[in-house]
Chains A and B, each alone.
Chain A
């Protein structure tokens, strides 16, 4: 089975700047795998996420997601690809405050026909798909029609997870999604995330500086070890 994500000899530096920010000879994420990537600040985490999401292009090497080489595609095609195949969870403030909880979840389907169709096939409609996920993630139905910013931080992160999962993207990228949560809800959130990823058979790339979470994952890697460029300051 082909890996969900495969990086080979990926190098990145900003144009006109000789200093390499990222140099990763090899990184693989198998289908359905949950990988913890330890990324303290200054390890090139932001640069890596920019490359994985297709915002930036590597200066050298290949980034393959589901066997497709992202670096060969145009910026528009990469945006398209991200919308179709990747769910993204930010550290904090994941939601558009002026939309309702349910609308926030459905947002992913608005920019991707493929995910909209999948949600529809699986649950009848996008709304049903959103409700199904929200329910699974433990958000009671009275909250669904509320404004997103009326929820607690922990609830918001679960809504963000639902948005990343809707329409069954193959890859979920989470960028420190638990850093704003306390220890108890951190574990609970991860449990939910794992089980939902499993339910939709998505691979999870979880990037965090918090090493205490690593034992919960099947596999863990360290970005400072992977990245041979050793940037001096945090990439930005």
Chain B
């Protein structure tokens, strides 16, 4: 016990270099933890975005592409699919529910999703959680009603009954607005931590009504149709972007998938979301591993810095060791002092690194969620993170053996004489 106090006092005596060493270890550990935390949470939030959906169906393209634009609202559809195709499969005997998805419009940078009431009823996220309304109701008969994702409502400060105008296309700054057909906010969803939060939900009929007087991708100048006139028209869509299917039994999944992929009406692609997610991980894992490796290297550099500092201090501490030897300290006492020093520096560095990450998450939580849609929880380290930290500590311990061994040899050779 006294040895620990002695090592601590000696370390405090060199507090400036010790503090610098500690900082470099803390920063490297914080980087390692942050990379790991973001990686895990990104996966969790991706995996939690779609739950309970058996098949995602869209125009024939790549499965990852389809998953990205239909579920994550990233990128654009290569092609639309016909309404008849959707109806065909919505009535398929194996299909329990079907959610149509129509994308392509936006509102101040947020995507607009045209869908049906089935969306609020059957869409699941996270651990099979249903969407819940924080305020108001889901859209109903009127085509010009909109239900906001929580983040849309929060960041744009929208309330119930407010009216808003949607823009054509998905660019943040859109030149073409659907000014003649404003939508009324009827509901605001509770936060989900998924892209749903950043989406405006309107009925398919609303999408159809907005574009009813459009020709060739532009509003037709000759024939304007007002919102009220549009309400009177048949607003059945001709095409949608994709649809989600829930089946009666999981066993039927592959049969239905094959059936859709071989549909004779038009080329369709059906994917299992889990499989497509795995493909996505496959794409991302290289980058993830590279990032992880880099942060491991940074930790290694931090520990190497510690080793350098301790080794450099050995020479100037020969007197300290000779004094300790003269009062009867054994060489292993001296080695123990050095071991304790590297362990203390590493342990404190790890603690500081953990605090730094927590502080960083606490400060950046909202910004990260707003900009990247990634929810970083302020949590205790996971088992895996603890294993990582344990590994760092063990590495520090192993590295500490080097100065300890040198000090051992040195104190054996020097004895009570002081070479300086």
Residues of B within 8 A of A98 (CB): 9-10, 12-13
A110 touches B417 (CB 8 A): no
Interface string of A92-127 (1 = CB under 8 A from B): 011111110000000110111000000000000000
A107 touches B327 (CB 8 A): yes
B327 touches A163 (CB 8 A): yes
Tell me, rounded to whole Å, the shortest Cβ–Cβ distance linking A145 to chain B.
14
Interface size grouping (class) on chain B? 20 to 34
Q: A95-B323, A98-B10, A98-B12 are in contact. Are A49 and B416 (CB under 8 A)?
A: yes
Tell me, rounded to whole Å, the shortest Cβ–Cβ distance linking A48 to chain B.
11
> Of A50, A79, A93, A96, which is within 8 A of B328 by CB?
A79
CB closest chain-B residue, reference A51: B415
Residues of A within 8 A of B415 (CB): 50, 53, 55-56
CB closest chain-A residue, reference B9: A98
**Chain B contact residues: over half helix, strand or loop, or mixed?**
helix
Alpha-carbon distance between A94 and B324 when the two chains are bound, in angstroms: 10
Alpha-carbon distance between A107 and B5 when the two chains are bound, in angstroms: 12
CB closest chain-A residue, reference B15: A98
A111 touches B328 (CB 8 A): yes
Residues of A within 8 A of B416 (CB): 49-50, 53, 55, 88, 90, 175
Number of A positions contacting B (CB below 8 A): 30
Alpha-carbon distance between A107 and B327 when the two chains are bound, in angstroms: 7
B323 touches A90 (CB 8 A): yes
> Is B325 part of the binding interface, using a Cβ–Cβ cutoff of 8 Å?
yes
> Of B9, B12, B326, B331, which is within 8 A of A90 by CB?
B326
CB closest chain-B residue, reference A104: B323
A90 touches B418 (CB 8 A): yes
CB closest chain-A residue, reference B332: A76
> Is A37 part of the binding interface, using a Cβ–Cβ cutoff of 8 Å?
no
> Is B2 part of the binding interface, using a Cβ–Cβ cutoff of 8 Å?
yes
> Is A233 part of the binding interface, using a Cβ–Cβ cutoff of 8 Å?
no
B328 touches A108 (CB 8 A): yes
Q: A50-B416, A96-B320, A99-B9 are in contact. Are A79 and B327 (CB under 8 A)?
A: no
Interface string of A188-231 (1 = CB under 8 A from B): 00000000000000000000000000000000000000000000
Alpha-carbon distance between A56 and B416 when the two chains are bound, in angstroms: 10
* Residue among B2, B12, B330, B416 with max Cβ neighbours from chain A (10 Å): B416
Alpha-carbon distance between A50 and B319 when the two chains are bound, in angstroms: 15
> Is A84 part of the binding interface, using a Cβ–Cβ cutoff of 8 Å?
yes
> Is A1 part of the binding interface, using a Cβ–Cβ cutoff of 8 Å?
no
Alpha-carbon distance between A53 and B2 when the two chains are bound, in angstroms: 23
Interface string of A150-176 (1 = CB under 8 A from B): 000000000000010000000000010
- Closest 9 A/B residue pairs (Cβ): A83-B328, A55-B415, A98-B13, A111-B328, A88-B326, A98-B9, A79-B330, A108-B327, A110-B2
* Chain A interface (Cβ < 8 Å from any Cβ of B): 46, 49-50, 53, 55-56, 75-76, 79-80, 82-84, 88, 90, 93-99, 107-108, 110-112, 163, 175, 236
Sample of 27 A–B contacts (CB below 8 Å)? A50-B415, A53-B415, A55-B325, A55-B415, A76-B330, A79-B328, A82-B328, A83-B327, A83-B329, A88-B326, A88-B416, A90-B323, A93-B319, A95-B323, A96-B323, A96-B324, A98-B9, A98-B12, A98-B13, A99-B9, A107-B324, A107-B327, A108-B328, A110-B2, A110-B327, A111-B333, A236-B419
